[in-house]
Amino acid sequence: MAITLGPNQYGKAEVRLVTVNRTGPVHSIKDLTVSTSLRGDLTATHLTGDNAGVVATDTQKNTVYAFAKQSPVGEIEDFALRLGRHFVRDNIKGARILIDEHGWDRIAVDGKPHEHSFSRAGDEKRTTAVTIDGDRAWVVSGLRDLVVLKSTGSEFHGFPRDRYTTLAETGDRILATAVTTRWRYQGSEIDWAKSFTEIRRLMLQKFATLHSYSLQQTLYAMGEAVLEARPEVAEVRLSLPNKHHFLVDLTPFGLENDNEVFYAADRPYGLIEGTVLRDDAEEPGLAWPTFT
């Protein structure tokens, strides 16, 4: 029997980076969580402990902070591309940089945005995953935990019934989810901020305006809306937990419940996931950041 080293990568996970732009009295901040991951011929370190080809994970973390000082972080995609391209040299042949951006809103004081005070924007995060392989680059961006709800305009019926089916058919229900989505860009010369803002807007608009017969249908329509309007996007993946809102039975109290009083269930939840593709898209190459 022969034992060999399989695929491997290593890096620093979840470097917390906050930058303050202090060029004037009105400060702005960037709050990021950056993970770096490098690949190359690291057989020697795994088999013999020879670390000659290992860029220490501590160095990777320091590089994140030094780069943030040396020039403005800018859009997370650009920052990730700069970092990834820096690491790929000598023994390191590939890099994957994951960044989550945490939003902050300016606090309003007497109706005016304060110069240097902020409140956390909520759970939603903007994300990117940049993969560098030699001189090629792939960018997959997205967002996580964008919680949305519509109080009508959603039905669910026509599904098969067997002896285990108890779910009532409904022509009017609450539809709620926490959108996690990633989209694969074609190319890397893109106005990242504008593209993100538009994609987010298109998804929200479709969620709101589509009269939905299932979360699956909503998922497809959200992805389709992005692909129709944004030629820079090759593929959209969505993961939508169905945040069930169950109508409370008020008949024991002699009350009608006309779709007004709900119990928001925590778990279990339906999990609806899917990919929406264009048929003329560039091949994904190493774009999707899966390892294990």
Ligand X SMILES: O=c1[nH]c(=O)c2[nH]c(=O)[nH]c2[nH]1
Q: Work out which of 2, 3, 167, 168 binds ligand X, going by CB under 6 A.
A: 167
Q: Compute the least distance from the CB of residue 145 to ligand X, in Å.
A: 19
Q: Compute the least distance from the CB of residue 274 to ligand X, in Å.
A: 12
Q: Compute the least distance from the CB of residue 204 to ligand X, in Å.
A: 18
Q: Work out which of 122, 171, 270, 285 binds ligand X, going by CB under 6 A.
A: 270
Measure Cα distances from 197 to 142, 201, 263 in Å: 11, 6, 33
Single out the segment in contact with ligand X by CB under 6 A; choices: 79-87, 144-152, 213-221, 278-286.
213-221
Measure Cα distances from 4 to 17, 41, 191 in Å: 37, 13, 44
Active site annotation includes 243: no
Measure Cα distances from 29 to 68, 94, 118, 203 in Å: 12, 30, 9, 26
**How many CB atoms lie under 10 A from the CB of residue 29?**
13
Bridge partners (DSSP) of residue 239 are: 180, 273
Residue in 19, 57, 93, 114 annotated catalytic: 57
Single out the segment in contact with ligand X by CB under 6 A; choices: 12-20, 25-33, 183-191, 212-220.
212-220
Q: Strands across the sheet with 28-40, in order?
A: 15-21, 28-40, 92-109, 112-133, 136-150, 175-185, 233-242, 270-277
Question: Long-range pairs for 49-58 at CB < 8 Å and ≥24 separation?
Answer: 52/91, 53/90, 53/91, 53/92, 54/10, 55/87, 55/92, 57/10, 57/11, 57/12, 58/12
Q: Work out which of 142, 214, 219, 276 binds ligand X, going by CB under 6 A.
A: 214
Q: Work out which of 186, 227, 242, 276 binds ligand X, going by CB under 6 A.
A: 242
Active site annotation includes 12: yes
Is 242 known as a binding-site position? yes
- Verify binding: residue 222, ligand X, rule CB under 6 A: no
Q: Compute the least distance from the CB of residue 225 to ligand X, in Å.
A: 18
Is 23 known as a binding-site position? no
Count of residues engaged in binding ligand X, rule: CB under 6 A: 7
Active site annotation includes 86: no
Q: Compute the least distance from the CB of residue 164 to ligand X, in Å.
A: 12
Binding residues for ligand X, per CB under 6 A? Answer: 156, 167, 214-216, 242, 270
Question: Which residues belong to the active site?
Answer: 12, 57, 244
Binding site for urate, by residue number, is 57-58, 156, 173, 216, 242
